[in-house]
Amino acid sequence: MDEHTEARRPGAALMAAPTALARFLETADTRLLEGIFSSGDVTILENFPPHVFLGQAGLARWRELMTGHVSAISDLAHRFGAPQDFVETGDTVHFTLPTQWSGVRDDHAFTEQGGWTFVQTWEDDAWRIRSYGWAVIRFERT
C-alpha cells in the first residue's frame, strides 16, 4: 500500500473530496468543488436529467444543474454512514458511501437515504473523484 493510500482505513485524505462534495450540496458554494474532481474523464450518474454526465463538459453541466437543484432546498444536511466495499488498484480506489440527507423543499421536510459509489484517482498529490453514482434507497416526505 502506498503512503497516500488509505483505502482500508478511510482517513481524511480519502474522504476529503466526498466531504467537499456534500458540503457543496448543502451550501451551493461552488468554490467547494475546486480541485475535487479529476482533470481527466469524469462520469457522474444522478437521479435527475440527463442522469449521465460525461467528461469535463458533462461535469460543467452537472455543476450548473446541481447548483440550481440544491438552491431550491433549505436546511440541507448530510450524514455519512460507514464506508463500504473498498477496492484499491494502484492509484485508483472504489468505495460505497451510505448517506442520509434531510432538508426542506417546497415547504415539505424530507429525508432521503441512499448511497454514493465513488471511484477516486490519485492525481496532483490528492484523491480526486473520477466518477460517482447516486442511488436513492428510501425517500420520505412530510
Position 12 scores a pLDDT of: 82
Domain, as residue range, for 135: 12-141
Whether residue 1 lies inside any domain: the answer is no
| CATH number of residue 77's parent domain | 3.10.450.50
Average pLDDT over residues 103-114: 97
Kindly report, residue by residue over 116-141, the tens digit of the pLDDT: 999 999 999 999 999 999 999 999 99
Q: Is residue 99 within 8 Å of 117, Cβ to Cβ? A: no
Whether residue 91 lies inside any domain: the answer is yes
Residues 6+ apart with CB under 8 A from 20: 32, 33, 36
Whether residue 6 lies inside any domain: the answer is no
**Number of domains, the chain:** 1
pLDDT > 70: what percent of the chain? 93
Position 11 scores a pLDDT of: 74
H/E stretch holding 66: helix 55-71
Residue 5, pLDDT > 80, answer no
Kindly report, residue by residue over 91-105, the tens digit of the pLDDT: 999 999 999 999 999
Specify the pTM: 0.91
Average pLDDT over residues 51-58: 98
Average pLDDT over residues 52-68: 97
Whether residue 28 lies inside any domain: the answer is yes
Residue 41, pLDDT > 60, answer yes
C-alpha cell at 63: 455543476
C-alpha distance across the termini of the chain, in Å: 46
Whether residue 5 lies inside any domain: the answer is no
Position 104 scores a pLDDT of: 98
Measured distance CA(57)–CA(98) in Å, rounded = 28
Whether residue 4 lies inside any domain: the answer is no
Whether residue 57 lies inside any domain: the answer is yes
> Range with the lowest mean pLDDT among 85-94, 105-114, 121-130?
85-94
Residues 6+ apart with CB under 8 A from 86: 7, 8, 10, 93, 94, 95
Question: What is the chain's mean pLDDT, rounded?
Answer: 92
Whether residue 70 lies inside any domain: the answer is yes
Measured distance CA(96)–CA(115) in Å, rounded = 7
